[in-house]
Amino acid sequence: MTELANDLGTEKISKLLIKQAVPASIGILVMSLNMIVDTIFVGQWIGSLAIAAITVVLPIVFLISSIGMGIGIGGSSIISRALGAKKADKAFLTFGNQISMTVGLSVFFVVVGTIFCSSLLLLFGANGDILVPATEYFHVVLYGVPFLAFAMMGNPVIRAEGKPKFAMYAMIIPAISNILLDIVFIKFMDLGMFGAGLATSISYAACGLFILGFFLSKKSELVVSPKYFVLKFPIVKEIIELGGVTIVRQGTISVLMIVLNATLFTYGGESAIAVYGIINRVMMFALFPVLGVTQGFLPIAGYNYGANNAKRVKETIKTAIIYGTSVATLIFLGIIIFPEAIASIFTNDAALIKETPNALLLAFLATPVITAQLVGSAYFQAAGKALPALFLTLLKQGIFLIPLVYILPKFFGLNGVWYSFPIADILATVVTLLFLKVEVKKHLN
């Protein structure tokens, strides 16, 4: 692990953060472009109702696959700290337990999702005419979910190894394959929602198999061996405590989607859900550099925390917030200048194009301040402090956004939904900065 130790433990933080964040950002960018292009193809070639259907289905898919993400992020935090403390055996054992947990749990929940398909879709907002296309899409995509869960588990582990470029490749492969297969299945073969689902499912499989190939190759420093697959309670407990933060966060997002889709349907019908589908895709795309900085921050902070190098941890926090905030401000300006143009990319539905710009502007109002919240909550996860990480992760979606989405529309109608997003962002950022200030003063001085 010499190269990893030299990089994460000694290299200049600003240079190291760029080295970690740029590949992560590129990977997220390509994945976001994939989501955007997928939505554009579906909206232009199938219809605006198809956008609403995908908006309903994807939170269910990501809820199941977030099991892999949680196991990946929780385990990668352990791996980073173990490598920083020169405990390679613990890193290997953690990785083996991650594989066993991800495969077993993802397959189980796919079976559950298949059995309760209609009930889940209705719960998540497949109301009215949305149910039929949502069902067709969901049935196909569900079979790719175990591959997606494995990919989401493996990606943060690859970054924890100090191999951000391979993590980037893993995100690029499914994006490119999905776009190409969308063209084949939807445009040329005219398979509609089934084709969209088939393209997505195959792309998930491509991503999962690529990551498996990486770990089986000599490029990976982690050892894949059956002896490490046997679950060890202390390791599983630590993975669950830290990874549970991500799983609970995704679960909270899923609850948010239930409340959000129901509220949108009540105050604006199917078109309001389609508007949010566009906003959600734009959020994923526009915030890719900020998310990349956060992803790049995690292994650096975790490694140096494990190595008891408080000075480098503090410098990493400061640098990540400065970089992310600068980029987020530029993104905000772009949204302000081009809202109509952005909306028109996704659909040729005149009513949808008219409704989207105002909602887009309102939802993005607090974009310049979000980096501090993301990096602050990520620090506690990197440091292995599960309870504050869980609380801070739940702040925006769970503690603030869900109640706001439920309450504000009663006074402001549909606009109340869009007001909820910037208010939740600002409140979550203030609380996170207070937590981070106390933590730095107590433990990093």
Quick check: 5 pLDDT over 50? no
Other C-beta atoms closer than 10 Å to the C-beta of 143 total 16
Band the pLDDT of 15: cuts 50, 70, 90. Answer: confident
Tell whether 406 is covered by a domain.
Answer: yes
Reply yes or no on whether the pLDDT at 157 is more than 60: yes
Assigned token pair, 334: 């772009």
Q: Does the structure show a pLDDT above 80 at 201?
A: yes
Q: What is the mean pLDDT of residues 323-349?
A: 84
Q: Quick one: pLDDT at residue 422?
A: 94
Cβ-based burial of 124 (10 A; exposed 0-12, middle 13-18, buried ≥19)? buried
Using one digit for the tens of pLDDT, what is the confidence trace for 25-48?
Answer: 777 777 667 777 777 888 888 887
Instruction: Give CA–CA dist 124/9, Å, rounded.
Output: 45
- Quick one: angle between helices 414-443 and 310-337, nearest 10? 160
- Give pLDDT, residue 6: 54
Q: pLDDT for 79-136, tens place per residue?
A: 878 877 778 888 889 999 999 999 999 899 889 989 999 999 998 888 888 899 999 9
Taking alpha carbons only, the member of 124, 143, 145, 140 closest to residue 68 is 145
Tally of domains in the chain: 1
Is 1 a member of any domain?
Answer: no
pLDDT band at 2 (very low <50, low <70, confident <90, very high): very low
Half-sphere CA count of 421, side-chain side, radius 13 A: 20
Whether the CB-CB separation of 83 and 60 falls below 8 Å is answered with no
Residue 28 token pair = 């997220």
Could you give the percent of the chain with pLDDT greater than 70?
Answer: 98
Computed on alpha carbons and rounded to an integer, the radius of gyration of the chain in Å comes to 21
Q: Give the mean pLDDT of the chain.
A: 85
pLDDT attached to residue 418: 94
Kindly tell me the burial class for residue 123, based on how many C-beta atoms sit within 10 Å of its own C-beta (0-12, 13-18, 19 or more): middle
User: 3 in a domain, yes or no?
Assistant: no
Whole-angstrom Cα distance, residue 353 to residue 372? 32
pLDDT above 70 (res 4):
no
Rounded to whole angstroms, the Cα distance separating 338 from 350 reads 17
pTM above 0.85, yes or no: no
What confidence score (pLDDT) does residue 280 get? 84
Q: Which positions ≥6 away from 398 have C-beta within 8 Å?
A: 252, 255, 256
The per-residue DSSP string of 128-168 comes to GGGHHHHHHHHHHHGGGHHHHHHHHHHHHHHHHTT-HHHHH
d(CA 178, CA 417): 31
Distance from C-alpha of 252 to C-alpha of 244, rounded to nearest angstrom: 12
Residue 365 lies in a domain: yes
Q: Is residue 2 part of a domain?
A: no
Alpha-carbon distance of 35 to 61, in angstroms, equals: 14
CB 73, CB 155: distance < 8 Å? no
> What residue type is assigned to position 413 of the chain?
G
422 in any annotated domain: yes
Whole-Å CA distances, 425 to 131, 226, 285, 327: 31, 44, 18, 17
Q: Would residue 381 count as lying in a domain?
A: yes
Report yes or no: 196 and 185 within 8 Å, Cβ to Cβ: yes
Report yes or no: 30 and 172 within 8 Å, Cβ to Cβ.
Answer: yes
For residue 130, is it within any domain? yes
pLDDT (tens digit per residue) in 253-269: 888 888 898 899 999 88
Q: Is the pLDDT of residue 319 over 60?
A: yes
Quickly state the pLDDT bin for 75 (edges 50, 70, 90): confident
Amino acid residing at 117: C
Range of the domain at 401: 8-443
